[in-house]
Amino acid sequence: MRVEPFGGRVTPFYYAPKLVVGNGRKDVAICTLWTKEDVLNRVLSNQDFGLRGPLFSQRGAEYIIRNVLANPVIRSILIVGADANNSPAGLLALKENGVGDRNEIKGLVDETGKPRVYIDPGLPVEAVDRFREEVTVEDMRDERNWDKVSKRVAEMPQRPAFDTMRRFYPESLPATSTLQSEGMGIRIGRNRIADAWVDMLFHIRKFGVVKPSDKGRDLQELPSLHVVVNETVDGLLDRIPNWLPVSRRDIEEYLPVMLESKPRSGVDTAYTYGAQLRNYDGLNQLEQIGELMKGEWYTKRAVAMTWHLPDHLTDQVMSAPCLVDLMFLVQDDRLMMTAHFRSHDMYRAWLQNVYGLRFLQAEMAKKVGVGLGQMEVISNSAHLWQDIISDADRIVAERYPQLAAAWREDPRGNFLVSVEGEQIVMKHVDTFGNPTGMVFRGTSGQQLYKDVILNEGLISLPDHAAYLAWELGMAAQALATGSAYQQDRA
């Protein structure tokens, strides 16, 4: 722990660019959740608070505590404004129950009883308990009259600072050793959304670059990450694994953000994608796309936007949507969809975004009158925030080895390998086992391998390439020794 004298001036140290320092009641901090900034500027006076800022996730409670311990003049926190995902639940549970033996916020669990949020072990229990003892937390989310919020601040008795020192507790951030990679355009393909998420976390932690951000926190980033999924929507909510950091209830509560045309009251419209897609300057883009594709299924104009020029490019204060556009194509009587995100929190937001988009895609496929095809999500900045790294590493350690070991069928087909006379024969078949008519013959496994990979491009997965190399080696050995060869069909 690092300490330094507290001179009475309120100074945010964590996520500082998102926080506003007031010039009135230094002992009061106002947590404004997802409320739009232009609303706050109209309804709150700087005399009402010493510090004001949003709270977008339940895990953000830890950084409220860290900021308060570094500013011990703050004695009261008011939770006010519009909420999108029950984000203050972490702060309320932490205040009420404290931290458990595994650094989990006690009392904050999902439907299965699993803890939802863990606190960095660098912030000790005694520090959390000091916050709990010295600071009051009042939930005023149901209050829609902002004048009453100001009146409540005026009624609250002023209390002196609870400490004469600023206290800074270390963050247990794992060291990152980035390996070389192809950089842009890493592609991950999985049928299940949950599997793709684990695979994606592994790649970001292995190959991502650590860089600063406009929020005052570092992040680890992969540029232009492509993730393709093909999970059906029938029973999708029932298949959400209980080890994910989001639950079925979380997804159900999030779906209106993608599927409904009316934004949640008071919530920053930059994050209410359904409202923007269905009302872009009065145009219901999804309705128009559905009508267009029903008549011209082959169109390449089926594009829906949330990005609005010049506002989102030139206004650096205004919030900007992370989802920029959706593009639709029909192939083989199935609707394909590509979603582009300019910025993507891959731990806190990706799962909700992708589950929601999958349901939106299914809705559009039904509207067009075709089946549901693959979905690609391209994240221009696919990143993990530094405070979530330990959680990501825990998921990767628990889930990735089993995922990596599981055999994946190559979407480009398979090969039947045999030894016939003095030749090795490779017959290409599609994923249903039907012959494609492509047959390769030769006496050298190495040459056949090069022909298939370099000249024909019939292999898309590294595990398939490794398997085929092994089989060709075994076939070549059998050919050289005259022994019997049978392909391993496992």
Q: What single DSSP character describes residue 453? A: I
Tell me how far CA of residue 448 lies from CA of 418, 443, 470, 476, in angstroms: 13, 8, 12, 10
Give the C-alpha separation, 464 to 437, whole Å: 20
Query: For residue 18, what pLDDT is reported?
Result: 87
Q: Which residue has the tokens 């960095």?
A: 120
Share of the chain above pLDDT 90, in %: 65
pLDDT surpassing 60 at residue 317? no
Share of the chain above pLDDT 70, in %: 96
Query: For residue 445, what pLDDT is reported?
Result: 82
pLDDT surpassing 90 at residue 452? no
Q: What are phi and psi of 482, to 5 degrees?
A: 80, 10
Q: Answer yes or no: are the C-beta atoms of 235 and 192 closer than 8 Å.
A: no
Directed axis angle between helix 285-295 and helix 350-368, to 10°?
40
pLDDT surpassing 60 at residue 28? yes
SS3 332: coil
Q: Answer yes or no: are the C-beta atoms of 362 and 233 closer than 8 Å.
A: yes
Query: For residue 257, what pLDDT is reported?
Result: 86
Query: For residue 263, what pLDDT is reported?
Result: 64
Q: pLDDT digits over 150-205, tens only? A: 999 999 999 999 999 999 999 876 566 677 888 899 999 999 999 999 999 999 99
Tell me how far CA of residue 173 lies from CA of 207, 388, 400, 460, in angstroms: 17, 9, 21, 35
Band (pLDDT 50/70/90 cuts) for residue 316 is low
Q: Which two tokens stand for residue 174?
A: 């794992």
Which is higher by pLDDT, 317 or 20? 20
Q: Which two tokens stand for residue 234?
A: 């029938």
Read off the amino acid at residue 237: L
- Characterize the bridge pairing of strands 20-21 and 51-53: antiparallel
What is the DSSP secondary-structure string of 92-160? HHHHHH-B-TTSBBTT-B-TTS-B--B--TTS-HHHHHHHHHH-EEEE-TT---HHHHHHHHHHSPP--
Query: For residue 201, what pLDDT is reported?
Result: 97
pLDDT surpassing 70 at residue 441? yes
In terms of average pLDDT, the best of 33-37, 106-110, 233-237, 318-322 is 233-237
Q: Which two tokens stand for residue 208?
A: 């991502």
pTM given for the model: 0.80
Give the C-alpha separation, 195 to 205, whole Å: 16
Query: For residue 212, what pLDDT is reported?
Result: 87
pLDDT surpassing 90 at residue 115? no
Query: For residue 177, what pLDDT is reported?
Result: 64
Give the C-alpha separation, 50 to 110, whole Å: 34
Which is higher by pLDDT, 45 or 310? 45
Q: Which two tokens stand for residue 180?
A: 């070389």
Q: pLDDT digits over 463-478, tens only? A: 888 889 899 999 999 9
SS3 282: coil
Q: pLDDT digits over 365-386, tens only? A: 999 999 999 999 999 999 999 8
Mean pLDDT, residues 245-252 taken together? 90
Read off the amino acid at residue 215: K
Query: For residue 287, what pLDDT is reported?
Result: 96
Mean pLDDT, residues 8-28 taken together? 93
Band (pLDDT 50/70/90 cuts) for residue 131 is very high
Q: What are phi and psi of 445, to 5 degrees?
A: -60, -35
Mean pLDDT, residues 81-90 taken together? 88
Mean pLDDT, residues 70-87 taken together? 92
Adjacent-strand bridge partners of 105: 99
Q: pLDDT digits over 408-436, tens only? A: 889 999 999 999 999 999 999 998 899 99
Whole-number average pLDDT of the chain: 91
Mean pLDDT, residues 88-111 taken together? 92
Give the C-alpha separation, 36 to 317, whole Å: 11
Q: Which residue has the tokens 């703050």?
A: 74
Query: For residue 268, what pLDDT is reported?
Result: 54
